[in-house]
Amino acid sequence: MRNTETNRIENKEQLNEDFEQEVTAFLNYKEGGIIYVGINKNGQIVGVENNDLTQLQIKDRIKNNIQPSTLGLFDVTVETIDNKEVIKVIISSGTEKPYYLRKKGRTPEGCYIRIGSSKERMTERMIEEMFARRIKNSLKEIESPRQDLTFRQLKIHYEGNGMILNDNFARNLNLLTDEGKYNYNAYLLADENNISIKLVKYLGTSKMELIENQEYGYCCLITATQRILDRLTAENTVYAKIEYNGRKEVKMIDSKALKEAVINAMVHSDYTLTTTPIIELYSDRIEITSGGGLPQGLSQEEFLEGVTAPRNKELIRVFKDVDLIENIGSGVLRILDAYDKSCFKFMEHFLRVSFKYKENPFEYDSKNKVSTDDTINDTLNGTINLTKNEQQILNLIINNNQITREEIVNKTNLSDRTISRAIKHLQEVNIILREGSKKAGYWKVLK
C-alpha cells in the first residue's frame, strides 16, 4: 500500500513526544530509515501547517536530545504529496552506536532499535554488545599527526556559501578529540596535510602506458575535491552538433553521476587505511576507487538501494554545508539514474565506480559531412564566412574538444601550416578558444 510503514519508514501525523525515540531506533538500525511528519499511521496525507517551524524544531531536537553527536547523520526536507506538504527526515545508520536519549542515558529506557515496522527498547545485553562493536578508529577519535593546523581555505569555502566560522568552529564541526586536540577530520580539512589524491591517465584501455600522474592533495580536502572536479570537467569531452535551432550537446560521461562518484569517494573513503581515493582515466572509461569497501557491513543490495551508513559523518556534514552534497543518501541513486548497477565493483577493501565513455552520437561520415558543414554555415551566415577547411576543422573540434593538431592532420590530410592558419582565424573571430596547456588543455567553442 502507498505510504505504508515498513522497517525503514515511520509515519507521524505530527511532531510528538516520542519523536526522538524513533530517531534513535533508526540510528541504531543497520539500514537507517525515514520519518515522515504529516502522514498518519493509516498512510493518509494530512500535511504540516508550518513546515519552517517544524523543520527547525526537528533539527533542534535531534541535535540536542540525542547522544552521541548526530551531526552529518540526518537530513530534513519538504515534499509535496497529494498537494500537501509533508516533512521527510532521512536518518543514516550511526557510526557510534548505541545512540540514546540524553536524559535517559545509555540504558534500556534511553536506547531503541527498529524491529519490523516499530521501535523497541534495547536490552542491556544488546546495548553492551553494540557498544563493544563501536568503531574505535573513527576519524573523530584519531589525533591529527600535526597540531599546528590552519583553516584559511575551509573558512573561504564557508564564506562562499554565506556562512562565517566563529572561534568555536573546530568544536562545532567535531574537529577535536575528547581531549581537545585536533583530530584526523581537522587534518583532512586543514590548509596543509600529507594526503595525496592521485589522478592518473593512461594511453589505452590498460595500465600498460602511463601518460600522466597528477596529485591534487596536500591541502583542504574540499579544495582538492573541487580541483579534481574542475579537471574532470575539462576531460569530459562534449560531443556537439550545430543545428538550425541551436547547438546540441552530449557529454562523454554524465556530469551529475561523475560528480557524485568523486564526492562519494572523498567523504566515504576509509582514511584510517594507507590508501586514498584514486581517479584513473583510460581511453574508453574513467574509474574512481575509494578505500574501505562497503561501510559498516552493508550488503551490496542495501548499498544499491540507497541505504545510508556514512563512514565519515563529520566530513559529510562539512561537504553538505558548502553545497557539495545536496541530500544525504542521494549519491548512489543519482549515479544509478544514468548508469546500471554494473558500474559498481565491490571488493573486500575497496569500492570502485567505472563509467564507460559514450560514443559520439553525432559521428558523421563522408555522406553527411557536407550537410553538417552547411549547418554551420547557416548558423554563422551574415556574420562570419568560413572556408571549407575552417568548417572541417571546426566540426572536428566540436565533436572532440581535446583533439590535437596531429589528430586534425590525420583526419583532414591538410598540411600543418594550413591547419595552423585556419585555427588562428577561428580564434581571431572568437569562434574557438584554447583553454589550458598544449598537453592537458582543451578547445572551447564560443559560437
Q: Write down the domain spans for the chain.
A: 9-132, 198-356, 369-445
Q: Are 389 and 258 in contact (CB under 8 A)?
A: no
What does each C-alpha distance from 387 to 101, 364, 377, 394, 421 come to in angstroms?
Answer: 75, 19, 9, 10, 11
* H-helix or E-strand spanning residue 67: strand 66-67
CA dist., res. 240 & res. 363, Å (int): 10
What residue type is assigned to position 171 of the chain? R
C-alpha 218/C-alpha 206 separation (Å) is 28
Output the pLDDT for position 397.
86
User: Residue 423 phi/psi, 5° resolution?
Assistant: -65, -40
Supply the pLDDT for residue 315.
94
d(CA 238, CA 253): 9
Distance between CA atoms of residues 220 and 187, nearest Å: 8
Of 139, 133, 126, 204, the C-alpha closest to 175 is 139
Task: Yes or no: say if 194 and 218 are a contact pair by the CB < 8 Å rule.
Answer: yes
Helix (H, G, I), strand (E, B) or coil at 56: helix
- Whether the Cβ atoms of residue 378 and residue 447 lie closer than 8 Å to each other: no
C-alpha to C-alpha distances, 230 to 224, 255, 259, 356, 445, nearest whole angstrom:
10, 11, 10, 19, 18
pLDDT recorded at residue 335: 93
The Cα–Cα gap between 391 and 397 comes to 10
pLDDT value, residue 379:
45
The CATH architecture one would assign to domain 369-445 is Orthogonal Bundle (1.10)
Q: Cβ contacts of residue 152 below 8 Å, gap of 6+?
A: 191
Among residues 197, 313, 321, the alpha carbon closest in space to that of 262 is found at 197
Angle (deg, nearest 10), helices 405-412 and 388-399 = 120
Rg of the Cα atoms in the chain: 26
At 15 the pLDDT is 92
Res 304: pLDDT: 87
Contact 350, 292 (CB under 8 A): yes
Residue 386 has a pLDDT of: 76
- Let me know: does 311 contact 331? Beta carbons within 8 Å: no
Q: Which residues contact 392 (CB under 8 A, 6 or more apart)?
A: 369, 373, 412, 414
Architecture (CATH level 2) of domain 198-356:
2-Layer Sandwich (3.30)
Check residue 77 and give its pLDDT.
Answer: 93
> How confident is the model at residue 371, as a pLDDT?
41
Residue 110, CB-side half-sphere exposure with 13 Å CA sphere: 16
Domain 9-132: give its CATH superfamily.
Schlafen, AAA domain (3.30.950.30)
**DSSP 8-state code for residue 41:** T
Q: Is the dihedral of CA 285, 344, 95, 88 positive or negative?
A: positive
Decide if 313 contacts 95 (C-beta within 8 A).
yes
Please name every residue paired with 9 in a beta bridge, in sequence order, or none if there are none: 34
Of 88, 121, 80, nearest in space to 12 by CA: 88
pTM of the model: 0.63
- Residues 177 and 284: their CA atoms lie apart, in Å, by 44
Cell numbers 553538505 correspond to 320
Q: Using DSSP bridges, classify how beta strands 9-12 and 33-37 pair: parallel, antiparallel or unpaired.
A: parallel
pLDDT in tens, the chain (447 residues): 467 889 999 999 999 999 999 999 999 998 899 999 999 988 999 999 899 999 999 999 999 999 988 988 999 999 999 999 999 999 999 888 899 999 999 899 999 999 999 999 999 989 888 887 765 557 888 889 899 999 999 999 999 999 999 999 999 999 998 889 999 999 999 999 999 999 999 999 999 999 999 999 899 999 999 999 999 988 887 777 666 566 677 888 999 999 999 999 999 898 887 679 999 999 999 999 998 888 766 788 888 887 777 788 899 999 999 999 887 767 898 899 999 999 999 998 899 999 999 887 766 443 344 344 444 444 444 445 677 788 888 888 887 888 888 888 888 878 888 888 888 888 888 888 888 777 678 888 876
Sign of the dihedral defined by the CA atoms of residues 79, 82, 84, 90, in that order:
negative
CA distance 327 to 77: 9
